[in-house]
Amino acid sequence: MGVRTREAYIESLRRQKPNVYTDGERIDNLVDHPAFRTGINSAAVTYDLSNDPKHLDLSRVRSPIIGEEISRWTHIMQDEQDAIAKTKLMAALGDYLCPCPYRCITGDVLAAAFAVSYEIDKNHKTSYHQNVLEILKEAQKNDWIIGGGLISPKGDRSKGVTGQSDPDMYLHVVEKNAKGIVVKGAKAHSTAAPYTNMLCIEEMELVPEYFVGFFTPLDAEGITFICKAPHAPEKPKELENPLSSRFGGHVESMIVFDNVFVPWDRVFMCGEMEGVATFGTILGASHMWHKCMCRWANMDLSIGATALVADFNGVGSAPHIVDALCEMAIDAEILRSCAVAAAVEGWRHESGVYAPRLAPAAAGKVFAAKKLGEDRYYMQDAAGGLVATMASERDYLSPTVGKLLEKYYKGRDGVPTVDRVRAFKLIEDLTASEFAGWYHAMCISGGGASQTYKAVVAMEYGLERCKAKAKRAAGITQ
């Protein structure tokens, strides 16, 4: 197959039978359940892009692993040119308007597992790398989306992994035998996991039984997904929630592992704790790099929405609007530059994996999270109070009061009132909706705490080097 369609992706979900709950209800059919509608549609956008004639040169690549044309989403990057093409692919995805397609995790975990399994095999004479290679072949042939289970509940954060009263607060191996391992625990914050095709699970605490990485089918016995529905309208609307009606965020899951058996041919690390640096660095750099371009696409949309509503209000050339758009554009260019820098300054692991440089990717992620609130200030300031007070879609379409709203919601001459209403509803969706709240939280904490990535940037930048430079400038010789 190599590159599949939206329809083939959705059909693959129908064949899977994961144990999924949301709002206390067991869900037997994810595809047709309203809670999963916008998330599945968001992920499916990546398949639309892969089959768009305008983007075939970016979205497809010949795999050196299986020797066939595949989706770039399942490709293991080999060099800087691969990374530049992936950056451009992410930018092209922004034209589809989806704030979070979730396809990034597939490449993140495959690259990290590929590299760390290579290292562990070299040091311990294990056969993990072949396991990852076989998973990679399946992922490329079938154009999978791979979900991640990367963060445990952690319980009492002051006590760490060994001090918990309940050992299941961190995922751990409870049994090893000739056929495989048995794991118990949970993974929190698992975005979109129930509508992926395979899970990559890892725990990297420096205690042997709490250091493990493996792949597993979603419907393996003992796996349960407890899902929070996305912040989206249950049904699409005509005017309101124009973005979140289609792409209103993803389901968020707690994945519970109740003595789940994992055969050895799905394991890529198990107690070999020196792998933490390689897996964590490549995973983090890749994920933050993807996040830079996802946020850039949203910034790009925010700039357009601000300019549009100001134009429809008749103040498109007002000095404060022009200044706001300049500030937003500068922020977007800085963020895109972080992604490009991470791509071109990356490094090649001995396994052959090319990874983005972590520091600019991490810097971009933190910068984007901080700038989201500022962008929303500009959007609301340009639009005005109707963002918060505009009547509902039902009122506007009402045969009784709708004609009054049609009269009094009119803005600049030449702009149909309904178009001005649509522009305001877009700003509302981007800044003041339930979806907007979810998106803000995701930008701040999604992929890891900002404080962690700030420390990474400072460490890689080299404060001691800077101090030495300052000493030379000051004439200090000691």
Phi-psi region of 39 (alpha: psi -120 to 50; beta: other; left: phi over 0): alpha
Residue 309 contacts residue 318 (beta carbons within 8 Å): no
User: Pairing relation of β-strands 25-27 and 60-62?
Assistant: unpaired
Helices then strands, counting H and E runs in the chain, come out as 17, 14
Residue owning tokens 């549609």: 41
Name, in order, each residue with C-beta under 8 angstroms of 475's C-beta and a sequence gap of 6 or more: none
Name, in order, each residue with C-beta under 8 angstroms of 78's C-beta and a sequence gap of 6 or more: 64, 348, 352, 354
Q: Smallest Cα–Cα separation from 321: which of 389, 413, 313, 299?
A: 313
Q: How many CB atoms lie within 10 A of CB 439?
A: 25
Amino acid at 207: V
Q: SS3 of 281, please?
A: helix
Q: SS3 of 346, please?
A: coil
**3-state class percentages of the chain: helix first, strand second, coil last, to nearest 5:** 55, 15, 30
Q: How far, in Å, CA of 196 to CA of 13, rounded?
A: 8
Q: How many CB atoms lie within 10 A of CB 142?
A: 18
Predicted pLDDT of residue 343: 97
* CATH architecture assigned to 276-468: Up-down Bundle (1.20)
In the numeric block, which tokens belong to residue 323?
């200044």
Predicted pLDDT of residue 394: 95
In the numeric block, which tokens belong to residue 472?
């030379």
62 forms bridges with which residues in the sheet? 69
Q: How far, in Å, CA of 459 to CA of 463, rounded?
A: 7
Predicted pLDDT of residue 236: 84
Q: Smallest Cα–Cα separation from 143: which of 265, 226, 47, 230?
A: 47
pTM, rounded to two decimals? 0.93
In the numeric block, which tokens belong to residue 93?
């995805």
Predicted pLDDT of residue 69: 97
Q: Smallest Cα–Cα separation from 267: which of 166, 127, 411?
A: 127
Predicted pLDDT of residue 201: 98
Residue 340 contacts residue 87 (beta carbons within 8 Å): yes
Q: Smallest Cα–Cα separation from 166: which of 186, 190, 188, 189?
A: 186
In the numeric block, which tokens belong to residue 246?
């289609």
SS (H, E, C) 190-211: EECHHHCCEEEEEEECCCHHHE
Per-residue pLDDT of the chain (478 residues; tens, 9 = 90+): 789 999 999 999 999 999 999 999 999 999 999 999 999 999 999 999 999 999 999 999 999 999 999 999 999 999 999 999 999 999 999 999 998 899 999 999 999 999 999 999 999 999 999 999 999 999 999 999 999 999 999 999 899 999 999 999 999 999 999 999 999 999 999 999 999 999 999 999 999 999 999 999 999 999 999 999 988 888 888 899 999 999 978 999 999 999 999 999 999 999 999 888 899 999 999 999 999 999 999 999 999 999 999 999 999 999 999 999 999 999 999 999 999 999 999 999 999 999 999 999 999 999 999 999 999 999 999 999 999 999 999 999 999 999 999 999 999 999 999 999 999 999 999 999 999 998 998 888 887 778 888 888 988 888 899 999 999 999 999 8
Helices 358-383 & 417-431 angle (0-180, nearest 10):
140
Predicted pLDDT of residue 234: 80
The DSSP secondary-structure symbol of 392 reads P
Amino acid at 84: I
Residue 3 contacts residue 66 (beta carbons within 8 Å): no
Predicted pLDDT of residue 88: 96
Q: Smallest Cα–Cα separation from 189: which of 251, 110, 273?
A: 251
User: In the chain, what are the domain boundaries?
Assistant: 276-468
Helix (H) or strand (E) holding 226: strand 223-228
Phi-psi region of 2 (alpha: psi -120 to 50; beta: other; left: phi over 0): left
In the numeric block, which tokens belong to residue 247?
């792409």
In the numeric block, which tokens belong to residue 237?
């609307």
Q: How far, in Å, CA of 396 to CA of 416, rounded?
A: 14
Q: How far, in Å, CA of 427 to CA of 180, rounded?
A: 52
List b or e across 258-281, with b for residues whose CB sees 16 or more CB atoms inside 10 angstroms.
eebbbebebbbbbbbeebbebbbb
